[in-house]
Structure 1
Amino acid sequence: MSALPDHARRRFLLGTGALGATALLAGCVSNTPPTQANPAPVAAGGDNVAPGPPVTIGFSAPAADHGWMAAMTTNARAQAELLPDVTFRPTEGSADVNQQIAQVETLINEKVDVLVILPADGKALTAVGRKAMDAGIPVVNIDRVFDSPEAYRVWIGGDNYGMGVNAANHIAAELGRRGVTNPVIAEIAGTDSLPLTQERSAGFRAGLAKHGLSVSRRVAAEFTVETGERQATNLLQAASRLDAVWNHDDDQGIGVLAAVESAGRNEFFLVGGAGSRPMMERIKAGGSVVQATVLYSPSMCSSAISLARLLGQSRGMSDLAEHEIPRSITTYSAVVTRDNVDQYLDVGFAS
């Protein structure tokens, strides 16, 4: 996947943003001197673009056996390369939890300044996260949250429930635009045993319910191309008519679309999940059942590296008045359609 410098600069930590600019403008035009009741504008983090003290960031993530997961590591590396004051120390990705724990322990023993950890299993890696924190090494926990808040300094991740809600809102609006009554709505979920899948499905049900709609048919794949194709085939065979489908994951969506094309079905529209570049390109081109995708962007990993840098330099975020990095940051699951796809192509990941 390509590096994302424009996104990193535009959307997150690097540079002065609208809030900071507004504060500066307010300070320039106000004729009222600062008082306790009317304090001067604050930008506690200072200029985050300016180089600071050198920081060594250790990074650990699972094996890149999935397009989204591969993009997480790619984004982390690309963001670190943009920062001249950062030394990036990644471990080799592994699907084995015990191996990931051992790799993190090695980084702790090497006394890196900050750790960025995307755990294969949040519960299993909680103890090693606490070990790092106890050793005075701040931990940036990405996406799969540790069991204890004592195991991390800041968490950054996606909004699985909100992802489901936004998918539902888009589907309801599109069905209304098309004048479809009594729609047959299907859901192709990810791995049902995972909390993230459960949260996405709960948000989808709640979002549809607000519009007086519900899921008519549901199958669960396992975030792979093979299971996506198999479960979509089962769904299409069981349902002679569909009006809308939400597929939780664009990687498994490759298999879903293979099943759709094999069955020759096009009477419905499909909304994807996560925001892969191939899905965005289909959306832009038109002529496909794919009409939208709901972001769960691996750009969060770029932001995690920027957060780690600021933690290592004891800086806050320049657009915020607080002197410290926030405790948690939840990314937003925007809906990407043909109308706005050009705005989001820079965060699309390879499937």
Structure 2
Amino acid sequence: MHSKSAHRGHNVWRAMLLAGTFLTVAGVAQAADPLVKACSKTGEFVIGFSQANNAEPYRQHVNDELTAAAKAVPQFTLQIADGAGSVNTQTSQVDNFITQKVDLLLISPFEASPLTPAVQRAMKAGIPVIELDRKTVGDPGKDYTAFIGGDNYKIALEAGNYTAKTLLPDGGDVAVLEGLPSSTPAVERLNGFKDGVKQNSKIKVVAEQAADWLPDKAQTAFAAMLQANPDIKMVYASNDMMAAGARLAAKGAGKEGQIKIIGTDGLPGPAGGIRAVAEGEWAATFTYPTGAKEAIDMAKSILLDCATSVEPTVTVATMAITPDNAKSLMGK
């Protein structure tokens, strides 16, 4: 009797040990699964990038920085497709990249919801997707591999704080030019700025309108705002292009130099915000980092280093470009 129960106990113990071994093996296998099966230090990899719209100077800036970062990695070939500001164009580009079996997909979605299914198809096909600057619907790390970008809300909040404390400490009427309302940065920048200026009760946001990131639309919208609200002292534009349009409207109304302008993007070059601040045309702009270097670094860890996971959200810091530092940043 005693030996039977001992034998049974031994079997149970053996089964538990075996189960433990299997669990351990399964655990190890699970933990060690790389995000891409064909990853290798010596492999050659194609990265497809679906860019929202090459016509925007900021997006060209992103393309330039991505191209430079990818060139530094001999194993990488970067293919950039221009979404041309069209959801349909961008969707078919993503599908082309899937058919082509690219090793990794980068995307800056022109609009969030319409491009969500295309991103899901890429993920189902086993292609890691890094979203740059704009998100589709869902959660990074689950519905797509990762999101890299600036914190749009925080950047605009800083612009609001700067307005409340430095530009208009005594208050006044303020206007906001919003980006394309169906894109996440437009909404986050609008809310961030409005929350930032709230700390100064003497500031009143008297007008806000979407100008879809475009300078001509911003010029028309701001001209109308100035007619309806002649006491506007400052305008916050959600990108540098709309800030340039707002300046033309102020000039047209005979108010150049009287209205303080803040842009967002802090682009280099003759048409960019850094020059506009350095030459006294605008009061400030806030850099919107491209995340290009971070995206290529993440691609390296996935494709070359066989990473089993990556940081789902990488936030790249902003910098305030003001009259204090703009001249020293020119040409950098």
Q: Among 332, 338, 345, which residue is 2:323 paired with?
A: 338
What is the match of residue 61 of structure 1? 51
How far has the Cα of 1:324 moved from its partner?
Answer: 4.0
- Per-residue CA distance 1:4-43 (angstroms, 9 max, x = gap): xxxxxxxxxxxxxxxxxxxxxxxxxxxxxxxxxxxxxxxx
Normalised to the residue count of structure 1, the TM-score between the two structures is: 0.73
- Contact kept in structure 2, 1:187 and 1:215, CA below 8 Å: no
For residues 49 and 180 of structure 2, the distance between their equivalents in structure 1, rounded to whole angstroms, comes to 26
Whose strand fraction is larger, Structure 1's or Structure 2's? Answer: 2
Q: What whole-Å deviation, never above 9, does each CA across 1:207-262 have from its counterpart, x for those lacking one?
A: 11223344332231221111111111112222333333212111122211111122
Which deviates more from structure 2 when the two are superposed, residues 107-116 or residues 51-60? 51-60
The answer to whether the aligner puts 1:146 opposite 2:133 as a matched pair is no
Q: Taking structure 1 as reference, are residues 175 and 129 closer, same or farther at Cα in structure 2, changes over 3 Å only?
A: closer
1:71 aligns with 2:61: yes
Matching of residue 292 in structure 1 with residue 284 in structure 2: yes
Given the two structures, how large is their TM-score scaled by the length of structure 2? 0.77
How many residue pairs were aligned?
A: 285
Q: 1:224 aligns with which of 214, 217, 222?
A: 214
Q: Which amino acid aligns with 2:311?
A: P
CA offset digits 1:289-316 (Å, max 9, x no partner): x11101223x223432332232112356
1:92 and 1:141 mapped to 2: Cα distance?
15
Residue 339 of structure 1: SS of its match in structure 2?
A: coil
In structure 2, what is the equivalent of residue 282 of structure 1? 276
Matched with 2:152 is 160
Distance in 2 separating the partners of 1:279 and 1:312? 36
Kindly name which structure, 1 or 2, has the bigger radius of gyration based on alpha carbons: 2
Write the deviation string for residues 266-299 of structure 1: whole angstroms up to 9, x where unpaired: 223221112123321121123x3x11101223x2
The letter for the 1-side match of 2:178 is A
> Quick one: distance in 2 between partners of 1:332 and 1:259?
31
Distance 1:78 1:328 in 2: 23
Contact between 1:273 and 1:294, CA under 8 Å: does it hold in 2?
yes
Quick check: 1:183–1:242 contact (8 Å CA) kept in 2?
A: yes
Is 1:236 the counterpart of 2:220? The answer is no
Change (3 A) 1:128 1:209: same
1:117-168 Cα deviation digits (max 9, x unpaired): 1122232222222222222221111222122334311111232211221001
Q: Residues 57 and 261 (structure 1 numbering): CA distance in 2 closer, same or farther, change over 3 Å?
A: same
What is the rounded CA distance, in whole Å, between the counterparts of 2:306 and 2:279 in structure 1? 44
| Percentage of identical aligned residues | 26
CA distance in 1, matches of 2:97, 2:230: 55
Q: SS in structure 2 opposite 1:151?
A: coil
Q: Distance in 2 between matches of 1:245 and 1:259?
A: 11
Q: 1:191 corresponds to which residue?
A: 180
Q: What is the RMSD computed on CA atoms of the aligned residues? A: 2.5
Partners of 1:52 and 1:306 lie apart in 2 by 16
Paired letter, 1:141: E
Query: 1 or 2 for the larger relative contact order (CA 8 Å, sep ≥6)?
Result: 1
CA offsets 1:79-111 (integer angstroms, 9 cap, x no match): 212222212233343433233222222222222
Q: C-alpha distance in 2, partners of 1:206/1:96?
A: 31
Aligned to 2:105: 115
> Which secondary structure state, in structure 2, belongs to the residue aligned with residue 258 of structure 1?
helix
Change (3 A) 1:240 1:119: closer
Rate the CA distance shift 1:213–1:161 in 2: closer, same or farther, 3 A: farther
